[in-house]
């Protein structure tokens, strides 16, 4: 049994080394071994005005991801507006995520619930948490 296992291991090792060996030599002249990045094919920068809002009364903790990531205690209602500039093809094609995580606020009966949040891009509402009916954050992939 030991001879079979050792023989199998030897054959597998030889096969792996043969398969992982180098090619026929250096790449032909005129061809590079590395891939050069393509220049931006887009039409320049794309700018969006993004507004994050957390609604309610009193104070709450808010975490947001806009041009920066920040966690702060704020007075409600709270609003943060910024211009987000997409400059690379990847940002334009895949996008960048903007988000706001609202903290808890008190209901009339004294229980806690997530505050309402809204994201507006270029004047159009693109995300919300159904007016605080959901405990989810608000997020949007900006392209």
Domains in the chain: how many in total?
Answer: 1
Strands 116-121 vs 46-55: parallel, antiparallel or unpaired: antiparallel
In a domain, 137, yes or no: yes
In a domain, 40, yes or no: no
pLDDT in tens, 115-136: 999 999 999 999 999 875 777 8
Backbone angles phi, psi at 21, to 5 degrees: -65, 165
Strands 112-114 vs 78-86: parallel, antiparallel or unpaired: unpaired
pLDDT, mean over the chain: 79
In a domain, 17, yes or no: no
In a domain, 28, yes or no: no
* Confidence (pTM): 0.67
pLDDT in tens, 65-79: 998 999 999 999 999
User: Which DSSP helix (H) or strand (E) runs through 5?
Assistant: helix 2-19
């Amino acid at each position: 049994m030991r001879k079979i296992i050792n023989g199998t291991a030897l054959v597998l090792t030889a096969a792996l080394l043969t398969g992982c060996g180098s090619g026929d030599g250096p790449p032909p002249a005129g061809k590079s071994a590395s891939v050069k990045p393509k220049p931006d094919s887009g039409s320049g920068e794309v700018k969006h005005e993004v507004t994050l809002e957390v609604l309610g009364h009193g104070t709450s903790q808010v975490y947001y991801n806009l041009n920066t990531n920040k966690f702060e205690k704020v007075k409600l209602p709270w609003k943060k507006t910024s211009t987000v500039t997409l400059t690379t093809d990847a940002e334009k094609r895949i996008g960048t995520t903007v988000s706001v995580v609202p903290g808890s606020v008190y209901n009339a009966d004294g229980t806690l619930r997530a505050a309402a949040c809204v994201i507006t891009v270029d004047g159009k509402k693109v995300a919300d948490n159904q007016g605080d009916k959901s405990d989810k954050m608000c997020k949007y992939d900006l392209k």
